[in-house]
């Protein structure tokens, strides 16, 4: 009989260690684009500055914010925050109050006098900016930070454009606006006020400017022919709001009708109430659901006693009587007249039917193409058909908001800087946006959104004092902590604690983690535990 083989069996653990774990997928850390960042027209890195606020690093948060937007205290008040409409947290409980935290940072910077850093270099290039509204100021700011010499020519008494002359003080106090504009001017930006540009080519050549950015806004009110005994009792919303913003107190009577359904109509109606109108009514030819005004603007107007008269159009004004015709929607949702008329009481009619851009001075500029409404055609680089002449804000086809204008100014400044250097500006492709369904929200519990304090409706209409207050330090920190950090690791240690193989290596505060692939089996527990989808499982390399 042959002797029995007593050679010891090999250690299975050592075999596994030598061969390595068998897996078909491996985890990798990723950075995805949060929907708030993707939804911001100014291109702010919202998630980053919210993280700084949560950690109590307020100045660092503000400096992160103003990399993209020089007017955070303004935006925290007047932006309609599409970032919040995109916020994934809205599907959990309620969106993070991003605008309120932005206002907190903007106000804190004003209070503490945080300055912007001076440009590191001076290029010697000169850029003319026409218009001192949000887009022009944004372009001037970003160009100045790149070292260019910037001069703004504006027809107004003071810079600010529609922020100063179109947005009432109860929404945007002028001391706040002035403080943020002064910070831009401190970079060396020069403003020439009371200066209407009539000949852009002569202006450019006479001032030896190397490039031009035009952002004159849309200040020409659209008119409609309303038969009236006293046409002087019909005013346009832009002129009305500008006169009030300039300190005037126009006589409007006790009963005011505002014709239109946009944000300017709501501002005009609310302003009329503050000037003493007992009865203010908005007349709009479509339904509430179809009105272009933001819902919160209409709600605020109604809280302040403004009445809404939907599906009506004004046909005649014989003060103090106003004749309106009832409208109805056809099968396509378009309003059509019914032949039924009503009489309303009104001492003044304010027209808020939209604005056109005042761009006639560009007609003689070679290559510039103008549409019937005065808007200017621009390329993807914001340049018009005339080399070196760029345009943005309300005078180009786009949504007309302060934030869109600021985003245009930032984008144009980047392309102007490249054009001055004889280069082409490129930006890396964006990461994919992470949506709510991609998150694993075991980590986050319910946390009620902090509300800004606001004055009572009867107190509001007595003056132009600001309606909304700001968040406290604790409230701002709490609100920032509600951010889900969608798509980006915030070091919750979920992957570290979940990994059964100890394959996750913590690298230290702020440095995140790495995977030890010699230990990793590809079980995907880390992926399933990551609450913010900062881990992807990818096919194993062959």
pLDDT tens figures, 378-417: 999 999 999 999 999 999 989 999 999 999 999 999 999 9
Spell out the residues 6+ positions from residue 8 whose beta carbon is closer than 8 angstroms to its own: none
Do 26 and 40 have their domain in common? no
Residue 433 lies in a domain: no
- Residue 130's domain comprises 126-219+363-420
At residue 1, does pLDDT exceed 60?
Answer: no
Please state at what angle helix 58-66 crosses helix 98-112, rounded to 10 degrees.
100
C-alpha closest to that of 481 among 434, 444, 532, 435: 444
Do 470 and 348 have their domain in common? no
Do 229 and 347 have their domain in common? yes
Place of tokens 């339904």: 287
Judge contact between 102 and 471, C-beta under 8 A.
Answer: no
Judge contact between 281 and 256, C-beta under 8 A.
Answer: yes
Judge contact between 48 and 411, C-beta under 8 A.
Answer: no
Do 476 and 526 have their domain in common? no
Token pair recorded at residue 422: 């004889």
Report pLDDT digits (tens) over 11-26: 434 434 444 557 789 9
Do 525 and 451 have their domain in common? no
Judge contact between 275 and 249, C-beta under 8 A.
Answer: yes
**Kind and range of the H or E element at 256?**
strand 255-259
Residue 107 lies in a domain: yes
Cα gap 271→463, rounded to integer Å: 9
pLDDT at position 229: 67
Cα gap 379→499, rounded to integer Å: 50
Report pLDDT digits (tens) over 146-197: 999 999 999 999 999 999 999 999 999 999 999 999 999 999 999 999 999 9
Do 245 and 294 have their domain in common? yes
Residue 310 lies in a domain: yes
Section 425-433 average pLDDT: 88
Q: How many other C-beta atoms are found inside a 10 Å radius of the C-beta of residue 491? A: 17
Backbone angles phi, psi at 27, to 5 degrees: -80, 145
pLDDT at position 373: 83
The residue out of 405, 420, 435 marking a domain boundary is 420
Give 228 or 329, the one with higher predicted confidence.
329
pLDDT at position 354: 87
DSSP 323-352: EEEEEEE-TTS-EEEEEEEEEEE-SEEEE-
Cα gap 2→287, rounded to integer Å: 100
pLDDT at position 23: 79
Domain count, the chain: 4
**Kind and range of the H or E element at 142?**
helix 134-145
Predicted model pTM: 0.90
Residue 24 lies in a domain: yes
The residue out of 312, 337, 355 marking a domain boundary is 355
Residue 295 lies in a domain: yes
Sheet-wide strand order for 321-329: 312-318, 321-329, 335-345
Residue 231 lies in a domain: yes
Token pair recorded at residue 279: 């009865």
Report pLDDT digits (tens) over 202-259: 999 999 999 999 999 887 788 888 877 676 799 999 999 999 999 999 999 999 999 9
pLDDT at position 290: 92
Do 396 and 475 have their domain in common? no
**Kind and range of the H or E element at 355?**
strand 355-356
Residue 435 lies in a domain: no
Section 495-518 average pLDDT: 94
Token pair recorded at residue 38: 């993707």
Token pair recorded at residue 428: 């890396």
Section 363-388 average pLDDT: 93
Do 343 and 386 have their domain in common? no
| Distance separating the N- and C-terminal Cα atoms of the chain | 48
Using CA atoms, how far residue 94 sits from 50, 89, 398, in Å, is 16, 6, 29
The separation between CA 312 and the C-alpha centre of its own chain, rounded to angstroms, equals: 32
pLDDT at position 8: 44
Do 282 and 320 have their domain in common? yes
pLDDT > 90 in the chain, percent: 82
Residue 434 lies in a domain: no
Partners of 327 in the β-ladder: 337
Backbone angles phi, psi at 453, to 5 degrees: -70, 150
Section 130-147 average pLDDT: 97
What is the CATH classification number for the domain harbouring 179?
3.50.50.60
Cα gap 417→210, rounded to integer Å: 11
pLDDT at position 360: 86
Spell out the residues 6+ positions from residue 321 whose beta carbon is closer than 8 angstroms to its own: 343, 344, 345, 346
pLDDT at position 60: 98
Cα gap 470→63, rounded to integer Å: 20
Sign of the alpha-carbon dihedral angle for 269, 271, 274, 277:
negative
In the chain, how long is the greatest CA-to-CA distance? 129
Backbone angles phi, psi at 96, to 5 degrees: -60, 135
Q: Which of 119-123, 264-268, 337-341 has the lowest mean pLDDT?
A: 119-123
DSSP code for 524: -
Q: How many other C-beta atoms are found inside a 10 Å radius of the C-beta of residue 442? A: 11
3-state secondary structure 156-209: CCCCCCHHHHCCCCCCCCHHHHHHHHHHHHCCCCEEECCCCCCCHHHHHHHCCC
Do 477 and 492 have their domain in common? no
Q: 279-283 and 255-259: which strand pairing?
A: parallel
Cα gap 476→100, rounded to integer Å: 8
Sign of the alpha-carbon dihedral angle for 153, 212, 65, 67:
negative
Judge contact between 412 and 404, C-beta under 8 A.
Answer: no
Using CA atoms, how far residue 529 sits from 147, 352, 533, in Å, is 47, 53, 9
Section 34-38 average pLDDT: 97
At residue 531, does pLDDT exceed 90?
Answer: yes
C-alpha closest to that of 28 among 516, 537, 539: 537
Q: Which of 1-15, 230-244, 262-276 has the lowest mean pLDDT?
A: 1-15
Cis omega (within 30 of 0) on the bond before 320?
Answer: yes
Burial of 455 (0-12, 13-18, 19+ CB in 10 A): middle
Do 328 and 381 have their domain in common? no
Spell out the residues 6+ positions from residue 15 whose beta carbon is closer than 8 angstroms to its own: none
Do 191 and 293 have their domain in common? no
């Amino acid at each position: 009989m042959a002797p029995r083989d007593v050679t010891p069996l090999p250690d299975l653990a050592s075999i596994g260690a030598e061969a390595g774990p068998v897996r078909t997928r491996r985890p990798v850390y990723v950075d995805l684009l949060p929907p708030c960042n993707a939804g911001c027209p100014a291109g702010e890195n919202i998630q980053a500055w919210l993280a700084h606020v949560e950690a109590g690093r307020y100045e660092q948060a503000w400096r992160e914010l103003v990399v993209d937007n020089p007017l955070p205290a303004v935006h925290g008040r007047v932006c309609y925050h599409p970032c919040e409409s995109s916020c994934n947290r809205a599907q959990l409980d309620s969106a993070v109050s991003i605008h309120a935290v932005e206002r907190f940072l903007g106000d804190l910077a004003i209070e503490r006098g945080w300055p912007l850093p001076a440009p590191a270099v001076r290029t010697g290039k000169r850029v003319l900016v026409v218009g001192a509204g949000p887009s022009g100021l944004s372009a001037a700011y970003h160009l100045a930070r790149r070292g260019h010499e910037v001069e703004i020519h504006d027809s107004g008494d003071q810079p600010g454009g529609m922020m100063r002359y179109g947005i009432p003080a109860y929404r945007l106090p002028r001391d706040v606006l002035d403080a943020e504009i002064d910070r831009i001017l401190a970079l060396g930006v020069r403003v020439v006020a009371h200066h209407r540009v009539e000949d852009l080519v002569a202006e450019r050549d006479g001032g030896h400017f190397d490039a031009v950015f035009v952002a004159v806004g849309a200040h020409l009110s659209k008119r409609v022919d309303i038969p009236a005994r006293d046409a002087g009792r019909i005013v346009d919303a832009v002129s009305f709001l500008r006169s009030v913003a300039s300190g005037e107190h126009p006589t409007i009577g006790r009963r005011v009708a505002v014709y239109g359904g946009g944000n300017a109509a709501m501002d005009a109606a609310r302003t009329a109430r503050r000037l003493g109108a007992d009865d203010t009514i908005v007349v709009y030819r479509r339904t509430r659901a179809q009105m272009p005004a933001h819902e919160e603007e209409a709600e605020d107007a109604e809280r302040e006693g403004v009445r809404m008269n939907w599906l009506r159009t004004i046909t005649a004004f014989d003060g103090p009587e106003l004749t309106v015709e009832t409208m109805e929607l056809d099968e396509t949702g378009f309003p059509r007249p019914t032949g039924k008329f009503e009489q309303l009481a009104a001492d003044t009619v304010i027209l808020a039917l939209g604005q056109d851009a005042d761009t006639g001075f560009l007609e003689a500029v070679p290559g510039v193409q103008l549409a019937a409404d005065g808007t200017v055609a621009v390329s993807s680089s914001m340049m018009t058909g005339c080399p070196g002449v760029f345009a943005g804000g309300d005078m180009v086809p786009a949504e007309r908001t302060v934030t869109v204008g600021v985003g245009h100014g930032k984008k144009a400044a980047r392309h102007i800087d490249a054009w001055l250097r004889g280069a082409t500006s490129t930006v890396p492709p964006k990461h994919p946006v992470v949506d709510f369904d991609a998150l694993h929200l075991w980590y986050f519990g319910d946390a009620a959104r902090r509300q800004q304090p606001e004055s009572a409706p009867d107190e509001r209409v007595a003056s132009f004092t600001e309606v909304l207050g700001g968040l406290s330090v604790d409230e701002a920190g709490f609100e920032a902590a509600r951010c889900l950090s969608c798509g980006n690791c915030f070091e919750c240690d979920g992957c570290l604690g979940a990994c059964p193989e100890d394959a996750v290596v913590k690298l230290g505060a702020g440095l995140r983690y790495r995977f030890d692939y010699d230990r990793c089996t590809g079980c995907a527990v880390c992926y399933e535990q990551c609450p913010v989808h900062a881990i992807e499982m990818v096919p194993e390399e062959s």
